[in-house]
Structure 1
């Protein structure tokens, strides 16, 4: 077995597609503590920096004829604003800044993670679960503050036959508490899976016999990941809008 493993290493067959998701300290090889500045913290900071540059610095001049950065910022602003308005109505527009920030952070983190040797913070549940929990807790508290006990009408399907309503209420209650789980796993799982597949193709690219096929696979997967990076940020944001709408208008 040792000989086989050694031979595999020599031919380039030994690769670890999950190594790219390891959180490591930037200095030294010690354990990762809460105060340790890691590769995850670094690339999270980069994502926040890109959002700041794009939305604050890029729009600071407010030119009548916008430059490239201002055009991108305005396009993103209009895209998310229309999403919030269409799903939540005028009442939901006041929560637009949070939703816009959420979208921009996720999409920037996803795109930065496609750079060579980069780290993708959104591939970790340690990032996506807090984001999902903030949305879940926020809309739940908002629902009770805005509607009081009427918020519980979200779980009572009044349009269904009376005999089925208790069972449907239980199903609605379970599905409601599953929201942060599905919300976080969907984002992290899709980002992680795509990056792992690219790494697998990259490992096979070292073998001469399959190198052209592997390179084609990398190119195709990379193009797909560019699309997935945007789609997953969009899905996370649109689900946030749907949950917000439930808090604002809880009755079925």
Structure 2
């Protein structure tokens, strides 16, 4: 995450640009960004993938009886998500564990790498989080119809409710279902963007000698909070994916 200090404006005051850190820029010059342009977002997505490979492949290649730190982290992450999938979505959802585990590892790693000074936070961009959310939405929707056919529509029909209100509840269920990818993506991107912007503002105040000690303490506190948020947001995204998967596997109310 970029932490450039705020600079003086034309009138000598401090000018903050906390949102500049989220601008997608070409890595090799030029101004236009096209689908083939290698950008800072491209770089940090690649670094995220490399970090995951290093942790899960290189870190566990030895399979020592006394695990190294990397192996311990990898095994803890594996066990944590496996138990989540089993508890939330059921034993029949274990076959989708590799997909859900990949989602969790990508999001949590991207969140943590985004806390590195001057880094680019991939998960602060709606383009990335919407793609992740849409992949989940389309996967569970297609899976629901493939497994259950028209019976999957039973997800929207609350049979336990009085008959007179079932159509209204069905409409509400349909709307809430199609809103899922929106809320799923905005929650992650919004939380990551907000925390990083606040840290940038505190970093700007650090240029003022009178309040710099307070600003530094605030930055340290926010970094600690953002570390927690990085894990919580990855956890929330993953557990909601498990909930949606459960709906696809067991659609009846």
Tell me the TM-score normalized by structure 2.
0.95
**Residue 8 of structure 1 aligns with which residue?**
12
**1:14 offset after TM fit, Å?**
1.0
Correspondences of 1:57-206 after superposition (within 5 Å): 57-206=58-207
Q: How do 1:8-87 residues align onto structure 2 when only pairs under 5 Å count?
A: 8-9=12-13, 13-87=14-88
Measure, in 1, the Cα distance between the counterparts of 2:245 and 2:90: 10
Q: Which has the higher helix share?
A: 1
Deviations 1:41-91 (A, max 9, x none): 000000000111111111112222211111100000000000000011110
Deviations 1:168-225 (A, max 9, x none): 0000000000000000000000000000000000001100111122112111111100
CA offsets, 1:90-135, max 9 Å, x none?
1000000000000000000000000000000000011000100000
1:215-251: CA deviation from partner (whole Å, max 9, x where unpaired): 1211111110000001000000000000000000001
Consecutive aligned runs of 4 or more in structure 1 exceeding 6 Å deviation? none
More off after superposition, 53-62 vs 226-235: 53-62
What SS is found at the alignment partner of 2:62? coil
Q: Which runs of 5+ in 2 are unaligned?
A: 1-7
CA RMSD of aligned residues (A): 1.0
TM-fit CA distance, 1:162: 0.7
- Check if 1:242 corresponds to 2:248: no
- Count the aligned residue pairs: 246
Q: Which runs of 5+ in 1 are unaligned?
A: none
Q: Distance in 1 between matches of 2:244 and 2:81?
A: 15
Distance 2:86 2:192 in 1: 28
Distance in structure 1 (CA, Å) of the matches to 2:34 and 2:129: 19
